[in-house]
With several copies, the nearest count.
Chain A
Amino acid sequence: MSTMIQAIRMALHVGESRLGVTDIFGEDVGPPLGGVFTGSQGLKTAWNTPLDERGIVGTAIGLALAGQKPVAEIQFCDYAFNTIDLLKIAGNTCWASGGDWNVPLVLMTPVGAGIRGSLYHSHSFDAQATRIPGWKIVMPSTPRDAYGLLLSAIRDPNPVMFLMPKALLRVKSRPGEDVPGEPGDDKRLAQMIDAPLGDRSAWQPSWPELEELYIPIGEATVARTGSHVTVISYGRNVPMCLAAAEQLAAEGIDTEVIDLRSLHPFDWPAIEASVRKTAKVLCVNEDTEITNFGEHLIRRIIEELFYELHAPPKLLAGAAIPGIGLADHLEMASVPQVESIKAAIAELARTEP
């Protein structure tokens, strides 16, 4: 029963010990802290960079061009917006050089709301990320998926963005979501791989015997099967959609929840199969709702499945405002909540063709 952040740490350990990862770096990623969310504690190749996101992304690109395997972190995606030009270069170098160069790097960054982070610790990055061609974009909602997607990202010869749902990083895995090889007992796991509080200069992690698991980039998973409405989501919103679905089951509404996991490329066949079955679809994400990735999913569905639909596809996303406010009411009113997801599903379910 690992947490997602422990699963990420274990994947990085497998990365640096078996898959050739040479550098895991970013602000406060190295000792003593090992990442503001502890994701890089106890890793051999983790180091602290200067406070300069442009340098971090540039270093990642350069290391990749030099045949290394860098995993770079932007401490919060809220602070990646001064590097979009460099992210575009990471994504266009292979194409611009006519295939002469590839850029095998992984960029990790925590995203989303849910921790009362106010204006600059609540940003989503999925809409921005899916606008940068040449990148693969993944976003897990369980520890096991985080582990398996990160290993696939490390092995990919292209730039891969690994979006970490902030609010889920410390949530424990549910049965079946374990990392293959982790000890069943979570206290034990914590003793093995969590750095102690206080002085940790002498501390060494003892890693479990981990098996490699590669969740293919581009494969969604049906987190809940249902027949009335299809909900397409990813990251933090997936457990919310599942909770909403459970509550609606009592009201006789049978909801299918697709956890997209990969935003680019995404699993169109999985979406198509589900929408053909339910004829009703809701897209849920936290990013601001104007020029939003869910709008792309809806456009694609409209283009290809218009005549299958029994109701207009809906988007439930973040309010189109300049920031997410600190106070409870403000954050709650700005991004989808279980209640608003329930209401949207129910409305779709009740729509008569």
Chain B
Amino acid sequence: MSSASPNLSVAPPSGHLSAESCLQIYDLMLRARILEERLISMYKQGDGYFWIGGPGEEAFNVPLGLLADKGAGVDHDYLHLHYRSSATLLAMGADPIDSLRQMRNVATDPYSKGRNFAGHYSKREWNIVPVTSPIEVQFSIAIGTARAQRKGSGAKGITIVQGGDAGTAEGDFATALVWSSRKGNELPLLMIVTNNRYGISTAFQGQHGYEQIADRGKAFGMQTAVVDGNDPEASYAALQRALHYVRTEKKPLLLEAMVSRLRGHSSASGANLVKGEVDCLEKFEATLEARKLIGKDDIAKRRAAITAELLDASMQIRDEPAPSPDSIWEHVFADHNLVGGER
């Protein structure tokens, strides 16, 4: 069986996950949230030039990271992620210190060597395709990795692509719908739209002709689903169903997750707490408390522990070297076919 959700039991009929799973998910959500808070304070203290990230998407992105089949090559899942995917990375096992390194744009940043903005992950070892700033292009690129995994290819993995709501106005979103649903040539592609109802300052309202973005898949005869991305258990179940369908049928599915944008768009808009948005973390804490799985004091303890851990991490990288001026000339071209398995 695939390496997906190694230590998570499938959701029981109740729709609740096991206590153990809930606590694992909660812990990852909390770590992701605190990581983003740390990145924001680094930005505010001048330890980085720009912040963008995922506070408000943890309840959806953590299950995604747990359920993705992690590994390199076509027998594992390719992930074409958005710039709000820190929780997915942590759930897959990434070390948060590397996110701090990218924020601080030091030479040790394993994702871009100090070249790219925070949240722009890349990890070939796990099939995490470099996150690109241009909105929605990942939808045109994802059809390529999905084609390499199409029915009959023998590949075990599938392709997962994720983007925001406003970005679906780009032609690339339609490209993914058209190319993945060609009759007889369907692609094993899970398209995820994380809908926070905003594109920077522009509200969803008045920019779209449909109630749900997922409806756009219906015209193409593809499976679609909408999930409350602020509910980690619902998200987990929806992702499990969606991944199972795409994996077994080798056909596309469009999944829309309704999420929050708790710190606004990015540091450009201040990165301060936004009022009136559901906080999936507080909500899940309340659920777990109600289920007696966790207490106020545990929460405080965990929070304090992780915060301290990340503060240490930020201290640890303080003196890591900046990339050298000459390093701009490195990696303009590749000498080996790394993706082809050469060393």
A-side interface residues toward B, CB under 8 Å? Answer: 20, 22-23, 27-28, 32-33, 36, 48-55, 57-70, 78-79, 82, 85-86, 89, 93-104, 116-121, 133-134, 136, 157-158, 319, 321-323, 325-330, 332-334
CA distance A115 to B134 in the complex (A): 18
Stretch binding the partner chain, chosen from B164-172, B216-224, B228-236, B291-299: B164-172
Inter-subunit contact A157/B336 (CB<8 Å): yes
CA distance A65 to B50 in the complex (A): 28
How many residue-residue contacts, CB under 8 A, span A and B?
260
- A-facing mask of B130-148, CB < 8 A → 1, else 0? 1011111101111111111
A157 contacts across to B, CB distance below 8 A: 333-338, 340, 342
CA distance A202 to B78 in the complex (A): 38
With contacts A326-B49, A329-B325 known, is A98 near B115, CB below 8 A?
A: yes
- The answer to whether B74 has its CB under 8 Å from any CB of chain A is yes
CA distance A67 to B155 in the complex (A): 12
Inter-subunit contact A65/B145 (CB<8 Å): yes
Chain A residue, CB-CB nearest to B168:
A51
B112, B140, B325, B339: which contacts A67 (Cβ < 8 A)? B339
- A-facing mask of B144-177, CB < 8 A → 1, else 0? 1111110000000001000000110111100100
Q: Number of B residues contacting the other chain (C-beta, 8 Å)?
A: 79
CA distance A96 to B134 in the complex (A): 13
Interface centre among B109, B144, B208 (most CB of A within 10 A): B144
With contacts A63-B147, A68-B148 known, is A329 near B339, CB below 8 A?
A: no
Inter-subunit contact A120/B331 (CB<8 Å): no
Chain B residue, CB-CB nearest to A22:
B148
A58 contacts across to B, CB distance below 8 A: 137, 139-144, 172, 175
CA distance A96 to B109 in the complex (A): 12
Interfacial residues of chain B within 224-253, with CB under 8 A of chain A in the complex: none
Stretch binding the partner chain, chosen from B7-15, B27-35, B121-129, B304-312: B121-129
- The answer to whether B96 has its CB under 8 Å from any CB of chain A is no
Inter-subunit contact B129/A116 (CB<8 Å): no
B340 contacts across to A, CB distance below 8 A: 20, 67, 69, 104, 157
B120 contacts across to A, CB distance below 8 A: 96
B211 contacts across to A, CB distance below 8 A: none
Inter-subunit contact B130/A325 (CB<8 Å): no
With contacts A54-B172, A319-B328, A326-B117 known, is A33 near B334, CB below 8 A?
A: no
- A-facing mask of B300-343, CB < 8 A → 1, else 0? 00000000000000000000001111111111111111111110
A93 contacts across to B, CB distance below 8 A: 130
Inter-subunit contact A78/B133 (CB<8 Å): yes
CA distance A61 to B111 in the complex (A): 19
CA distance A326 to B166 in the complex (A): 26
For the complex with contacts A60-B144, A334-B328, 12 further pairs of A-B residues with Cβ separation under 8 Å are A63-B145, A63-B148, A65-B78, A69-B340, A70-B144, A97-B331, A98-B111, A117-B50, A119-B115, A326-B49, A326-B114, A328-B322
CA distance A92 to B329 in the complex (A): 12
19 A-B pairs with CB atoms under 8 Å apart are A28-B199, A50-B207, A51-B202, A55-B140, A55-B175, A55-B179, A57-B140, A58-B141, A63-B147, A69-B340, A94-B333, A96-B122, A97-B122, A99-B334, A99-B338, A102-B339, A325-B115, A325-B327, A333-B325
Inter-subunit contact B332/A94 (CB<8 Å): yes
Inter-subunit contact A325/B328 (CB<8 Å): yes
CA distance A124 to B329 in the complex (A): 19
With contacts A50-B166, A158-B334 known, is A61 near B325, CB below 8 A?
A: no
Inter-subunit contact B115/A62 (CB<8 Å): no
Interfacial residues of chain B within 242-289, with CB under 8 A of chain A in the complex: 268
Inter-subunit contact A62/B332 (CB<8 Å): no
Inter-subunit contact A96/B112 (CB<8 Å): yes
CA distance A66 to B117 in the complex (A): 24
CA distance A239 to B303 in the complex (A): 49
B112 contacts across to A, CB distance below 8 A: 96-98, 326
Interface centre among A51, A60, A93, A103 (most CB of B within 10 A): A51
Give the distance to chain B from A137, nearest Cβ to Cβ, in Å.
12
